[in-house]
Amino acid sequence: MSTQIRKKIRYTDESLGDVRIVDDFLPSPDELVFKEDNVKVTITLSKASIDFFKKEAKKHHTQYQKMIRRLLDVYAEHHT
């Protein structure tokens, strides 16, 4: 059986520099469960973008298309 050695976190009183507070516009978890009408489209995206979303989707056990769709929904809602 292996044991992990955890380093103690040391907090400091150092300055954070210039900080700007932005409004939180990301959806809460309960806003992510509703079902909306979807429209199927064809879009060409960069390989780098698709690779990124596939990697993140695998980490979070979801589908990359859902992540892209939700990102676009949040962006559109924020700018509407």
pLDDT for 50-74, tens place per residue? 999 999 999 999 999 999 999 999 9
What is the widest separation between alpha-carbon atoms in the chain? 55
Q: Any idea which of 29-38, 41-50, 70-79 has the lowest mean pLDDT?
A: 29-38
The average pLDDT across 39-52 equals: 95
What is the Cα–Cα distance from 77 to 22, expressed in whole angstroms? 16
DSSP state of 4: P
Q: Looking at residues 19-30, what average pLDDT do you find?
A: 81
pLDDT at 1: 54
Place of tokens 């959806």: 27
Q: What percent of the chain has pLDDT over 90?
A: 49
